Amino acid sequence: MTGFDVPDPRFERRVRDSFARQGIMTHIGADLTVVEPGRCEIRLGYGEHLSQQHGFFHGGVVSTIADSAGGFAAFTLMPADVGVLTVEYKLNLTAPARGELLIAVGEVVRPGRTLTVTRAEVFAVEDGHRRSCALMQQTMMCITGRPDVVG
């Protein structure tokens, strides 16, 4: 995950601003903990309002932060004046999302002018122990003329 071309040196500011404007991220209490060229990390502490019927994180919450981690990872490598949209993604839920914390790590696998392919992995941290619980493969689209369109 090195050697990416970074057309906008102020990518971190741009990504953090966009994240801050997503009502849902604030609402559920998610933090954008890492913003690097081609890589983003989002952390989310547990709350009952994020649960399915067994008290684990709901799959929709897992997918929400996976989608955002991958999308913002793609956004780090885009020019300053564009937006980015999720075209599609595929998510495997590989273990119960049980614990006090979720960590989603999104990484660009194949950057492109129009389309960027990313992958994300989500980890559930239970009693301090980190366990992979989801894998995503995603396609993001760069939108010119409409800055800051994520998610």
Smallest distance from the beta carbon of 6 to its own copies, in angstroms? 20
15, 35, 61, 122: which one contacts its own copies (CB under 8 A)?
61
Contacts of 38 (CB under 8 A, 6+ apart): 1, 4, 73, 76, 77, 107, 108, 111
x-marked contacts with its own copies along 65-94 as a string, rule CB under 8 A: x-xx----------------xxxxxxxxxx
Q: Which two tokens stand for residue 140?
A: 């993001």
Residue 56's region, left for phi above 0, alpha for psi from -120 to 50, else beta, is beta
2, 3, 5, 60: which one contacts its own copies (CB under 8 A)?
60
Contacts of 81 (CB under 8 A, 6+ apart): 144, 147
Does residue 144 touch its own copies according to CB under 8 A? no
The residues of the shown chain that bind its own copies, judged by CB under 8 A, are 18, 21-24, 27, 48-54, 58-61, 63-65, 67-68, 85-95, 109-110, 112, 114-115, 117, 119, 132, 135, 137, 139, 141, 148-151
